Amino acid sequence: MTLLRSRGLALLVAAAVLAVCLALGLLTGAAGISPRGIALALLDRLPFVSVDPGLTPAEQGILFQLRVPRVLIAAMVGGLLAIAGAGYQGVFRNPLADPYLLGAAAGAGLTVTLVVVFLGGRVGVIAVPVAAFSGAIGGVLLAYALGRSAGRGGGGVGGGAGGGAATLVLAGVAVTSFLTAIQTFVQQLKVEELQRIYAWILGDVGGGWEDVWMIAPYALVSTVVLLLHGRLLDVLSVGEEEAVSLGLHAARARMIVLLAASLATASAVAVGGLIAFVGIVVPHVVRRLAGWSYRIVLPVSFVGGAAFLVLADLIARSVLAPAELPIGVVTAFVGAPFFVMVLRMSRAVNT
């Protein structure tokens, strides 16, 4: 039963939750900055607005050089992982499809690690996202090919369940394990980079403005493409024959969505590391609350994913304060039991 029956209402509620999470993210930190000062400082950055926030230069630096880029990165990474998960689920018609479980995140993680280890200081704003994108595509295609060869049916990219939900997930787990093993081996080749890579693997959204500007164009392109294909995914979810009868080029539509979802995953991984379960938790919650149409699921998943990861980062910063818990640990605590629940529900439906 859906509680939020219209796309406008669902987006409004998700945006309100995101606004609250962003405000909490800006307010939380070791340095106590007054809510009024933060609000006035943000207003002062708007065009044609000039107010005195009453903050010291140190407080201004903490707010705009640490907290603001951090919550923006968390929001973009969470939104991208969530909308990518919804896109993969639509392409493969599989409720268990997820950037992490399908091998996309592991593939992106491996190629980024290769770039960091072998290029070192020569890594630029183009090399990392391109490497992550190629790795994400490779990981997904490898998992899909393995799942299809082990199962039955399926024609072309996303041609059905590919041997069932469990088969595709098991293929993704196998690919993820294999790629992670290679990544671990590569890490040992450059021990001095091990701590930095390990922190990145567990998830880290504590970057600066350079990370915000690096991820922004890829996030914009991938999100727009996925949102424009919401209606097509609704048609594809009905069945292959119905899609063809309506004049839809199913294989091309699936490939475009697959590429866009992989670009979203690669962008998120390049900046935030390997953060699991966002792409499976958020879309499923959205479907339960707002309905199953991808015209609703895709945009609400993006906003909801942004709120979810900002909140997860808030918890990661607060549980062991002044130390920080890796954000990937927080999402795993939530996502692992949720995944088991979704798996049980999927098996109950199939039987």
Neighbours of 120 (CB within 10 A): 11
191 vs 43, 132, 196, 254, CA distance in Å?
45, 22, 10, 41
Report how far apart the first and last C-alpha atoms of the chain are (Å, whole number).
21
- The whole-model pTM stands at 0.89
Q: How far apart are CA 122 and CA 46, in angstroms?
A: 36
Q: How far apart are CA 334 and CA 312, in angstroms?
A: 9
Cα–Cα nearest to 201, from 174, 178, 215, 183: 183
Per-residue pLDDT of the chain (351 residues; tens, 9 = 90+): 556 667 788 899 999 999 999 999 999 888 889 999 999 999 999 988 899 999 999 999 999 999 999 999 999 999 999 999 999 999 888 888 888 888 999 999 899 888 878 876 555 566 778 888 899 999 988 988 888 887 654 444 444 444 456 687 788 889 999 999 998 888 887 776 667 677 777 788 888 898 899 889 999 999 999 999 999 999 888 777 777 777 778 888 888 999 999 999 999 998 898 898 999 999 999 998 988 899 999 999 999 999 999 999 999 999 887 888 889 999 999 988 888 887 777 665 555
Alpha-carbon 339 to chain mean position: 16
Domain covering 7-350 in this structure, CATH number: 1.10.3470.10
Burial category of 199 from C-beta neighbours within 10 Å (exposed 0-12, middle 13-18, buried 19 and up): middle
Residue 95 in tokens: 């409720």
Angle between helices 278-290 and 327-350 (to 10 degrees): 60
Alpha-carbon 135 to chain mean position: 15
